[in-house]
Structure 1
Amino acid sequence: MRGFLLRRLLLALFTLWLAATLVFAFLLLLPGDPVQAILGLEASPEARAALERSLGLDKPPLARYLEWLGGVFRGELGVSIRYGKPVAELLGERLPLSLALVLLGLLGSLALALPLALLSVRFPLWDLALSGLMAFLQSLPTFFLGVVLLYLLAVHLPLLPASGFPGWESPGEALRHLLLPALTLALSRAALLFRMARASLLEVLSQDYIRTARAKGVPEAWVLRRHALKPASLPLVTLLGLEGGFLLTGAVIVEAVFALPGLGSLALTALEARDYPLLQGLVLAMACLIVLFNLLVDLLYGLLDPRVEYA
């Protein structure tokens, strides 16, 4: 177990370094000039040169890359061009909201998909209706689903706040503002989890030990909960790890629809302003979260299936 964790940690560090290097290289190819975005078109050459020196943009790309990479190892991600604040401080302000939104979306999608998958395999008459409903939800774009839910639950039936975020000073009110965007993410991803859970349950229910349990007279509900659900959860756990990374990037659209000050809105602002230090810090933060999701998935495998060994 210790050797497995060490190898996974080394692989995670290599993945983060590769992600940071690629984003630095790709940002050099982006059109646009951050100095022009800050000073405007009428800036004098002297003002442009002074700002370039203060931002470090007058140095060669390799020197800037090595300087930024050294700062990462020291925990310093640079200063945002757009906001004039340390990137680490901006990430610390926005990360809790995005992380809470992603976790609520994951839990919500699982809470929707798993019971419906159990209902689908338990009662074949429900299977066609539930499969059709999930296929319909999967076909809807996330932004359209968000707008529909916003109209239904915030405008037509004012049950939840329409947009904005009041901060974490009042956890209950903060949760109310996150419920609608989290529901949007959950519904948009529940269809895929439902299909995976249903297929996995049907495969497990065809195994010999399930037939043996049924032949002994074990009730069908007990067979599903005690004998089929746990082994059928292994592919679902893998998909949840992938979905965590998808929701991090998909939350950009949801945060824009519901005007949430998370990493998604920060990324859009940084991209428009050509804020290279902030974009690099955002990509690094998202890569860290995706690597963490994948590591948790590997550990959950051992808890769900005792046959899994960490060599």
Structure 2
Amino acid sequence: MLRWLVRRLLLAIPVVWGVVTISFILMHLAPGDPARTALGEKADAASVAALRHQWGLDQSLPMQYLSYLGNLARGDLGTSFYYHSSITSLMAQRLPVTLILIVLSAILAALISVPLASRSATRPNGWAAFVVRIFNAVMQGSPTFFIGSMLILFLGVRVAIFPAGGYPSGFGHRAWALVLPAVTIALSIVPLLVRGLRAAMIESYGSEYVTFAQSKGLGVGPIRRRYVLRNAATSGVSILGIQVGALASGALVIEQVFAIPGMGSMLMTGILNRDYALVQACTLVFGLLVVVVYLATDLVYARLDPRARLS
């Protein structure tokens, strides 16, 4: 296991390097000048040239790339052009908010998906399975920002149970403010989870070990808990791990909709203001997050399925 873990970590290095390189190239290919954006359209050419020299933008692209890699090797993410602050300090403020939102969304997605999949898998042709299929079709066909806007309209404005937006001070108020955003992101990945879990559970219900358990007189509840859900959990873990990219991208959009000061709003600000260092740092962090979650998914899968450990 240790050898496998070291090998996976070594394989993650070229993945992270690829993410860094692609984000660097795309940001520099995008139209716009950070110095011109910062000073405004009416700034004279001398002021723009001086600011470009101060930020090192007058160097050749290969030199800027090597300088960026050298700073990364020293753990220096650089300084934001827009915020005029260390990106490391900005990450310390914004990253925990986004991580909490992603984790809460994943938990809610699992809590919603398991009962729906279990109910629809028990009687695949029943009315409950039909309702679940309609629910999946509606959720999968609805954009994340639309779901969030409807939740804000009904639960944040008309009923006023949850805050319509913002991130107030205090642990309790902040946790309450993250409920609607987390539900919005969770609903966007529930259809895939329900489909995967439902298929795995239907397959388990038709297996020989379930037939043997039924012959021993076990009820539907114990069979579902001991045999069906445990075997279907491997499929759910795999799907949830793969959907970490959807969780991250959903968090970026929903943070804008609910005015949450996380990585999403900071990344959008960096893109709009051509803040190269900030956008590249955010891309790097999300790339590392995906690599770590994929690795954790493989570890959990191996823990649930002995066959994976043997292989």
TM range (shorter): over 0.9
Structure 2 residue matching 1:5: 3-state secondary structure: helix
Counterpart for residue 295 of structure 1? 295
Aligned equivalent of 2:190: 190
CA contact (8 A) 2:34 2:275 kept: yes
Q: Which residue of 2 aligns with 1:140?
A: 142
Greater mean alpha carbon deviation, residues 253-262 or residues 38-47: 38-47
- Kindly tell me the number of residue pairs found equivalent between the two proteins: 309
Identity %: 37
Greater shift, 289-298 or 135-144, is seen at 135-144
Taking the aligned partners of 2:189 and 2:221, their CA distance within structure 1 comes to 26
TM-score (norm 1): 0.96
* Residue 270 (1) aligns with residue 270 (2): yes
Q: 1:103 — aligned with what?
A: 103
Alpha-carbon distance change, 20 to 310 in structure 1, aligned in 2, over 3 angstroms: farther
Per the alignment, residue 119 of structure 1 pairs with 119
Amino acid at match of 1:263: M
Q: Deviations over 1:34-87 (max 9, x none)?
A: 111011122222211210111010111111111111111111011111111111
1:73 alignment partner AA = A
Give how far 1:310 is off: 6.7
Which structure 2 residues correspond to residues 184-263 of structure 1 after superposition, within 5 A?
A: 184-263=184-263
The match for 1:131 is 133
Q: What amino acid does structure 2 have at the position aligned with 1:154? A: G
| 1:13 maps onto 2:23 in alignment | no
Q: In 2, are the aligned partners of 1:106 and 1:240 still within 8 Å (CA)?
A: yes
Question: 1:147-193, CA deviations, whole angstroms, 9 ceiling, x for partnerless residues?
Answer: 111111111111111111024xx211110110111111112221221
For 2:176 and 2:44, the matched residues in 1 are separated by 49
CA drift of 1:216 comes to 2.2
Q: Secondary structure at the match of 1:309?
A: helix
1:245 touches 1:289 (CA, 8 Å); kept in 2? no
Paired residues of 2:144 and 2:185 also in contact (CA < 8 A): yes
Q: In the aligned structure 1, how far is the partner of 2:248 from the partner of 2:264?
A: 8
Q: Which moved more, 1:208-217 or 1:265-274?
A: 208-217
Aligned amino acid, residue 145 of structure 2:
F
CA distance in 2 between counterparts of 1:190 and 1:121 reads 15
> In 2 relative to 1, CA 97–209 (structure 1 residues): closer, same or farther, beyond 3 Å?
same
Unaligned ranges ≥5, structure 2: none
1:49 has 2:45 as partner = no
Q: Which amino acid in structure 1 is aligned with residue 198 of structure 2?
A: R
Q: 1:85 aligns to what SS in structure 2?
A: coil
2:121–2:199 CA contact under 8 A, matched in 1? no
1:4–1:310 CA contact under 8 A, matched in 2:
no
TM-score (norm 2): 0.96
C-alpha change, 1:310 and 1:273, in structure 2 (3 Å) is farther
Aligned to 1:92: 92
Q: 1:310 to 1:90 in 2, by over 3 A?
A: farther
| Contact 1:79-1:86 at 8 Å conserved across structures | yes
* Whole-Å separation in 2 of the counterparts to 1:209 and 1:275: 58
Distance of 1:20 and 1:214 partners within structure 2: 54
Amino acid at match of 1:163: G
Q: Secondary structure at the match of 1:261?
A: coil
Give distance in 2, aligned partners of 1:105 and 1:309.
29
**1:245–1:293 CA contact under 8 A, matched in 2:** no
1:80 touches 1:87 (CA, 8 Å); kept in 2?
A: yes
The residue that corresponds to 1:163 in the other structure is 165
Unaligned stretches of 5+ in structure 1?
A: none
Q: Please tell me the root mean square deviation across aligned C-alpha atoms, in Å.
A: 1.3
SS state at 1:202 partner: helix
Alpha carbons of structure 1 residues 309 and 133: separation in structure 2 relative to 1, 3 Å: same
Q: Give, in whole Å, the separation in 1 of the partners of 2:89 and 2:65.
A: 21
Question: In structure 2, what is the equivalent of residue 178 of structure 1?
Answer: 178
Question: The residue matched to 1:159 in structure 2 has which SS?
Answer: coil
